[in-house]
Amino acid sequence: MSKPHKNYTLDGNKPLGVGGQAVVRKACDKRDGTIIAFKQLLPTLRRDEESLARMRREIEVQTKVKHRNIMPILDHSESFYWYTMPIANNIFSKLSTPMGDDIIINVIKDCANGLMEAHERGYVHRDITPNNILLIDESDDTRWVVSDWGLVRKRGYTTAVRTLPGRQLGTEGFSAPETWKDAHNVDKRADVYGLGRVIAWSLTGEWPAPNLPLLPTGLWKDFVSNTTDIDPNKRPKDMYGVLRLLEKVVNHL
């Protein structure tokens, strides 16, 4: 892959987003004029082994798992400290709450389908939050995608335990309770919990507190209660189960 400044002109205005490890800026691909999003590690972290490993996992998963509801990678550096992706039309966390049923239904369907594909390949996202669900429009296909796969785990394939028991992983309030015990060995039910907490936030407008229930009233209460049960054995075991719960809600709307 090419160096970023050869093929891309980065927008010097306010970044689209800044996280603990990376910054996302609007950029122009000089080759065809396409406006894209350019994500790169913060300069102070480009030699940090942990940060590079997570960026590399993010790039590898989003490149390998081809699905319309997973953010695609367009280009990346050979050293894995930057990559490009379609620019987002919106971020779920920026929408006003409480949200309407139509938006919530679309988000659940899109996220569940994208995560289903990742889960079938053995990948668990482990950090499903409103900030990691983006709306993109690519080739007239407008849909929600799951992004930011830096904390992804492939069960049975990780060579180093980077998430030790008792160490918090992911975003407080959205991370499944079992991640506190052993984030290295969580399974797809952790993503079920994260998606359920996202829906709880979208319906109540309240940012969830770690490991405390957050339930809306009305038709969505059972959906959120089931997907966010503190006991992973009482949640749907996969995204198929999530979609079955969604069907029950839709049938009563």
- And the tokens for 34? 């396409």
Q: What integer pLDDT is reported at residue 6 of this predicted model?
A: 87
Q: What integer pLDDT is reported at residue 27 of this predicted model?
A: 97
Q: What integer pLDDT is reported at residue 157 of this predicted model?
A: 57
- What is d(CA 17, CA 19) in angstroms, rounded to the nearest whole number? 7
Q: Do 4-86 and 90-250 have matching folds?
A: no
Q: What is the mean pLDDT of the chain?
A: 92
pLDDT-derived band at 4, boundaries 50, 70, 90: low
pLDDT-derived band at 149, boundaries 50, 70, 90: very high
| Domain chopping of the chain, boundaries | 4-86, 90-250
Residue by residue, DSSP assigns 25-80 as EEEEETTT--EEEEEEE-GGGTT-HHHHHHHHHHHHHHHHS--TTBPPP-EE-TTS
Q: Looking at 3-12, 79-88, 161-170, 199-208, which range is the least confident one?
A: 161-170
What average pLDDT does this structure show over 58-83? Answer: 95
Q: What integer pLDDT is reported at residue 5 of this predicted model?
A: 66
Q: What integer pLDDT is reported at residue 166 of this predicted model?
A: 44
Tell me: the pLDDT tens digits for 35-69? Answer: 999 999 998 988 899 999 999 999 999 999 999 99
Domain 90-250, CATH: 1.10.510.10
| Secondary structure of residue 94 in the 3-state scheme | helix
Is residue 249 pLDDT above 90, yes or no?
yes
Residues 6+ apart with CB under 8 A from 217: none
Q: 4-86 belongs to which CATH class? A: alpha beta
Residues 6+ apart with CB under 8 A from 244: 236
Is residue 17 pLDDT above 80, yes or no?
yes
Q: Where are the alpha helices (DSSP H) in 154-238?
A: 178-182, 189-204, 221-227
Tell me: the pLDDT tens digits for 160-186? Answer: 444 444 445 679 999 999 998 888 889
pTM of the shown model: 0.92
Q: What integer pLDDT is reported at residue 164 of this predicted model?
A: 45
Q: What integer pLDDT is reported at residue 163 of this predicted model?
A: 47
Tell me: the pLDDT tens digits for 110-144? Answer: 999 999 999 999 999 999 999 999 999 988 899 99
